[in-house]
Chain A
Amino acid sequence: MKITNNKVYLGIGAVSIGLLGAVSLWARPPFTDAQVAEQQQELLDVVNKGRDLWHGSNPAMSTNGLACGNCHPDAAASNPNTFPKFVPQLAKVAPMREMINWCIVHPQAGKELDPTGSDMVALEAYAVYLYRGQKIEPGYTLPLPPDPVKSGVGYPHTPSGIGVDK
């Protein structure tokens, strides 16, 4: 096939425009400061919801009064940075949300959550938030405590009551 000069020029032009567009997109700040602040607040709202759920705000998660926080204060030893990993109770490699559901069904004798539902996302968000900055250690099996004093829990929160025994 014969390639004419015109087609070469057109091709170079198209590539140049494409590159220019890509560079423009790359250079443009993705979000304004206000947008970033808004998105961060959305995250913190979900973290706060997760903190309440962690301490018993959804009665369906427990029939014996126990909540995640009984055994995992400050999400300690929940190890979100080690998942997915082999979970002996499940006999398979599983994400954290399946381990959360195992805890809800067994130690808490409650009803498991929709793995893709907003409550599960909030519980994960809370645990991950308290482990922020920690090294990702897939498969690690020993407890890896968060350092909430160093990482800071500093977001506003009002106690909502704990467990079903109110």
Chain B
Amino acid sequence: MSDANELTRRRFLGLAGQAGLTTFAARAIGVNLGLVEVLSAETKNGVQPFSFAIITDSHLFSIDNHKFDKALADAVAQVNALTPAVDLVVYTGDIAQNGREDQLVKGKKILSQLKAPLKVIPGEHDWYLDMGKAWNGLFGKETWSFDHKGVHFIGLNSILVKDFWTGAGLTPLQRMSTMEMLESPIAGPWGVRDAQLEFLRKDVKKLSASQAVVIFTHSPLWDYYPRWNFQTEDAPQIREILSKFDHVTSLHGHVHQTIYNKFANISSAGALSTSWPWPYPPVKLDYPGSQMNQSDPANVKDGMGTQSVTFDASGGGKVAYEPFANSLTPFLQDGVKV
């Protein structure tokens, strides 16, 4: 089977699983049923219906023609093929595996094939070899905000840890290796820290309560499983700053899996990676249906993919997971309101 046919088959399986054959058929002729529905809705708060995509956690190695290179290229092709086209793409961290500049350069080159504009935040795998020097050189500031069609977008760097390397006399490579191990207890919890909290305070100060807000971080803004840094240490302060809004959508990478939660005025959703899926940690979830099906290790793309987010005129969003293979539970198949 050719690569193109294989991609088409996986795309079919993913879409069929995600939204059912009816939606798939509608998309094939260029009609997105969800968008048809929201376009007829009354516009509120200045939000104009649109969609964007999320790609995350590609973990590129320096090895030539690595299978993760193709996975990221497949993700780009998948996003480019979305109908209707997305307005922008957000990458939520971990382009590289070992923080090397050549890995980041390779990722930027593959991502440059996206038709839509790209915004990027870093993950820990991008950062700790040179403390973000190469990343900043390639992708600019890691803290940003902008408005698009009535929605306020915010990106923060949530993988900042307290200095564990200077006192221990670790080399940059040892520091990076420590951060690479998900379950390493050495680095401690991640956070956005004071400067970004101040940025966030100033950024939202003049916004009204009804403003639609989307915030991107690499790690979730709730204590999902702190042992694997499925958390952000200063998320309580972030949530407090954002508590002025009627509703906030929090979207994150890092967890390599579908996951949804709702707390106070925030809806949160995690993203499929393009590299490998992670098992669900041993915690009780409020929305257990948001776990995707167990991935098949014999299927090299099962449990991975991209996601698109559609905003309707009321300011409400919906995440549509776009798996490379069919791995969605009924809870996920028609999209998740965020």
Contact = CB atoms under 8 A, between A and B. Distances in A.
Interface stretch (B5-13, B175-183, B206-214): B175-183
Interface in B183-212: 183-186
B173 A166 contact: yes
Closest 4 CB pairs of A and B: A77-B279, A145-B282, A76-B279, A73-B182
Contacts, number: 85
A159 B184 contact: yes
Interface in B44-94: 61-63, 66-67
Interface in B286-305: 294, 297-298, 300
A161 B181 CA distance: 9
29 contacts: A65-B66, A65-B97, A69-B181, A71-B277, A71-B279, A74-B227, A76-B279, A76-B282, A103-B297, A107-B276, A107-B297, A142-B294, A143-B280, A143-B294, A145-B279, A145-B282, A148-B227, A149-B227, A159-B174, A161-B174, A163-B61, A163-B97, A163-B98, A163-B180, A164-B63, A165-B61, A165-B97, A165-B98, A166-B98
B100 interface: yes
B281 interface: yes
B245 interface: no
A148 B228 CA distance: 11
Contacts of A64: 61, 63, 66-67
Contacts of B300: 107
A74 B227 CA distance: 10
B144 interface: no
A153 B185 contact: yes
A76 B277 CA distance: 12
A147 interface: yes
Given A107-B297, A143-B294, A165-B98, 14 more contacts: A65-B66, A72-B279, A73-B278, A88-B298, A141-B294, A143-B279, A148-B227, A149-B227, A159-B184, A159-B186, A163-B180, A165-B61, A165-B97, A166-B177
Interface of A: 55, 64-66, 69-74, 76-77, 88-89, 103, 106-107, 141-143, 145-149, 153, 159-166
Contact of B183 (A73, A89, A142, A163): A73
Contacts of B177: 159-162, 166
A76 B186 contact: no
Given A148-B183, A162-B177, A89 B282 contact: no
Contacts of A141: 294
B97 A89 contact: no
Contact of A161 (B173, B228, B280, B297): B173
Interface residues of B, number: 32
A25 to B, nearest CB: 42
For chain A, what secondary structure do more than half of its interface residues adopt (helix, strand, loop), or is it mixed? loop
Interface of B: 61-63, 66-67, 97-98, 100, 173-174, 177-178, 180-186, 227-228, 276-282, 294, 297-298, 300
Nearest to B67: A64
Contacts of B276: 66, 70-71, 107
Contacts of A77: 279
A131 to B, nearest CB: 11
A74 B298 CA distance: 21
Contacts of A107: 276, 297, 300
Most chain A beta-carbon contacts within 10 A, residue among B177, B183, B184: B183
B109 to A, nearest CB: 18
Contacts of B174: 159, 161
A65 B67 CA distance: 11
A55 B181 contact: yes
Nearest to A154: B185
A65 B64 CA distance: 12
Contacts of B180: 162-163
A74 B100 CA distance: 25
Contacts of A162: 177, 180-181
Nearest to B277: A71
Contacts of A66: 276
B279 A159 contact: no
A66 B182 CA distance: 13
Nearest to A166: B173
A67 B173 CA distance: 18
Contacts of B62: 165
Nearest to B175: A159
B251 to A, nearest CB: 22
B283 to A, nearest CB: 9
